[in-house]
Each structure stands twice: as C-alpha cells, then as structure tokens.
Amino acid sequence: MKVTINDIASRAGVAKSTVSRYLNGGRISAATSEKIKRVIEEHDYEPNSFARSLKSKKTGFVGVVAPALDSFVTSKTLIRIDDELRERGYTTLIINTSHSIERELESLQNLQRQKVDGMILFATELTPQHFELMEQLTIPFLIIGQETKRTHCIVFDDYKAGYEMGRYVASSGHKQISFLGVQEEDVAVGVRRKEGVIAGCKENGAETVSFFRGSFDFQSAMKAAKENFSNTSSTALICATDTIALGAMRVARELGYRIPEDISISGFGGYTVSAMIHPSLTTVEFDHQETGVLAASTIEKLIEGEEVEKLQRPSFSIREGESVKGKK
C-alpha cells in the first residue's frame, strides 16, 4: 500500500504541514527534521523526488491583497506574514489596492487565475461583490480585519476592545465623552468598535457620549476633532485609531487645550509613535505580530487541507500612557 504524506506525518508524530515544510526546505527544528527523515528512509522514499511531486501541484506562492502599504497596522502584520511564509517555503505576492474596492476584487480574481496556492485579504469592508467572489474561489482564502461566516477570518474583538477603552475612560471619572469614529462600511471599526465604546462608557458612569464621524486619515481626524470642540464640552475624546487620536491632539493644542489637564485623549492601535510623543498616548495595543504568525500558519494549514477554526481572534491590551487624566 502506498504511504501518503498523512502516513508520514502520523508515524513521525507531527502535523501534515510540518512534513510539507520539511520537504519544501522550510524552518523546523533539527530534532523534528531528523524524525521525518528517518520515517522517509525507513519506507524507502526518495525525499527530493517526493518533494518535486508535491511542488508540481503547487506554485509556492501566496497572494496578499492590502488596501494600503503605508498603514502601521497593515505593514507590521504584513512583514510578519512574509517572514513566516518564507520560513515555511512560500513566497508572498503583495498587491496594494490604494483603498479601491474595484482593484481589490480584480486583484483577487487575477491571483486565482495565476493559480497561487492561497490568498490573504486585508479587508476594510465586505460588499456583495466580495461575497459573490467567495462563492467562485477554488483556492484557500483568508480574511484579516473583517468577519464573515462565509470564509476563514482573523479579526480582533473590536466590540470588546471598544468596551474596555470606554470602561477605562469612564471609570476615570469622565461624564461627558466624545467618540471620533469612521464610516460604518468598515463594520469592525466603524460599527463594532463604536458600539463597544458607547456601552463601556455608559455602563461605567458616563452621562453623554457624543459621536463625530471622520475617516482614517489625519486631515479628516482634525476636522472631526474641530467639530467636537465646537459642539461639546466633553472632557475626554476616545478615537477609533491612533492616527485619529494624533490628529485630535494637534487640534487640541492649537486651540489651547492642555493634555491631559483640560482634555483626555485615547486611541486604538498601539502605534510605536504613540508611545514616543509627549504626552504618550493611552491606546488599545493590538498584537500585530501574533496576527501575522496566525495568518501565515492558517493559510498554510488551509493549503495542506487541514481543519482550521473559521474565526480566530488575536489578543489586545490597554497600554496606559499619559494622555488620560482621572476626573474623580
């Protein structure tokens, strides 16, 4: 009876993906490598020819589609994905769509035509066109940043993260709080994070939570912050991203507000620069390294036909800076 890759994995006591990584020259420990080599030799396999037969069915490429490459979040995660996949024997084909949904969909279709082994999409929104395309895909597909039951997803628990930041700020004694958010087409940040912030604030003592919508860019953040200062007496601003928080901090200083003595400001993202400025920004720090490792591991398992949880949530924590002051 012909021994399969599953048999080799079982007899070596490792996962199928580990055997594939060994055959493709990917990174595994010396001890594990020796176990796999011994099993292959015991069954009179010629590893090189076996690997070639596997490669003949695969391209060794994984396509990654991102809305922008200048985003802190995307770049940190993307670098880790690229490093991890390289160590697993894959090469990443990275496509920037400049926030164009049309280019995003076109890129996914082109990657499938090029017969990449799998695809990863950094999604800012999911449209009916995305769902239609998912029905047509014949290769493993993973989404980062948005959630759907139609495919595998890696997404932070934005509601919980929002709730924890809302609780943190309201529990510091702030009664009037404003949230500077983004468009609701981005369900994760524009809807779930917002809902979490409002619930966290109101369930922990806040009397009013005002909302001002902008976008992810710095100029839009400044505009939303100016609207807030013109229309509310909020003592704290919770911003949907660190970029928005940095824009709000600039506007606050231009208007003569002291941070945090007159106005407290917080964000989401855990950017490096947010810890370097003065006062340092209190922010929700998402584990982008963990996300990158998880994404690479997941797409490899999907390519190898292994079972993977449909929804996975990386960790986060509140990184306390100097930009939030208690009002008690």
pLDDT the model gives residue 17: 83
Residues 207 and 226: their CA atoms lie apart, in Å, by 22
Beta carbons within 10 angstroms of residue 61's beta carbon: 17
The confidence band for 276, taking pLDDT boundaries of 50, 70 and 90, is: very high
The residue length of the chain stands at 328
Q: Does 182 share its domain with 234? A: yes
Q: Considering the domain boundaries, does residue 214 fall inside one? A: yes
Sort strands 316-319 and 282-286 into parallel, antiparallel or unpaired: antiparallel
For residue 325, tell me if it sits in a domain.
no
Q: Does residue 316 carry a pLDDT above 90?
A: yes
Q: Same structural domain for residues 256 and 271? A: yes
Together in a domain, 198 and 235: yes
Query: Are residue 281 and residue 168 in the same domain, yes or no?
Result: yes
Over the stretch 141-193, which tens digit does the pLDDT of each residue have?
999 999 999 999 999 999 999 999 999 999 999 999 999 999 999 999 999 99
Is the pLDDT confidence value at 25 over 70?
Answer: no
Of the candidate ranges 17-21, 125-129, 317-321, the one whose mean pLDDT is the lowest:
17-21
Angle, CA of 111, 126 and 297, to the nearest 5°: 55
CATH assignment at residue 39 = 1.10.260
Same domain, 164 and 143: no
Centre a 10 Å sphere on the Cβ of residue 96 and count the other Cβ atoms it contains: 16
Residues 90 and 145 reside in one and the same domain: yes
Q: Is residue 321 part of a domain?
A: no
Whether 147 maps to a domain, the answer reads yes
CA distances from 222 to 116, 178, 246 (A): 41, 14, 9
Q: What confidence score (pLDDT) does residue 328 get?
A: 55
Which domain does 231 fall in, by range? 158-286
How many domains does the chain divide into? 3
User: Which residue carries 């809807």 as its tokens?
Assistant: 191
Same domain, 277 and 294: no
Structure tokens at 162: 């929002």
pLDDT of 215 over the 70 cut: yes
Nearest CA to 260 out of 160, 173, 166, 167 is that of: 173
Give domain status of residue 328, yes or no. Answer: no
CA dist., res. 47 & res. 66, Å (int): 36
C-alpha distances out from residue 188 to 68, 124, 183, Å: 17, 8, 10
* Residue 207, domain member (yes or no): yes
Cα dihedral across residues 252, 256, 260, 264: positive or negative: negative
Whether residue 327 is contained in a domain is answered as no
Check whether residue 249 and residue 229 sit in a common domain: yes
Residues 215 and 297 placed together within one structural domain of the fold: no
Both 99 and 76 in one domain: the answer is yes
**pLDDT the model gives residue 301:** 95
pLDDT (tens digit per residue) in 197-213? 999 999 999 999 999 99
Q: What is the pLDDT of residue 45?
A: 61
For residue 311, the domain's CATH number is 3.40.50.2300
pTM for the structure as a whole: 0.78
pLDDT of residue 2 exceeding 50, the answer is yes
| Per-residue pLDDT at 41 | 83
Q: Are residues 309 and 228 in the same domain?
A: no
Other C-beta atoms closer than 10 Å to the C-beta of 176 total 16
Q: Which of 257, 307, 263, 256 is closest to 282 using CA atoms?
A: 263
Judgement on whether residues 152 and 168 belong to the same structural domain of the protein: no
Tell me, yes or no, whether 322 lies in a domain.
no
Q: How far apart are CA 195 and CA 207, in angstroms?
A: 16
The secondary structure of the chain, three-state, reads CCCCHHHHHHHHCCCHHHHHHHHCCCCCCHHHHHHHHHHHHHCCCCHHHHHHHHHCCCCCEEEEEECCCCCHHHHHHHHHHHHHHHHCCCEEEEEECCCCHHHHHHHHHHHHHCCCCEEEEECCCCCHHHHHHHHHCCCCEEEECCCCCCCEEECCCHHHHHHHHHHHHHHCCCCEEEEEECCCCCHHHHHHHHHHHHHHHHCCCCCEEEEEECCCCHHHHHHHHHHHHHHCCCCEEEECCHHHHHHHHHHHHHCCCCCCCCCEEEEEECCHHHHHCCCCCEEEEECHHHHHHHHHHHHHHHHCCCCCCCEECCCEEEECCCCCCCCC
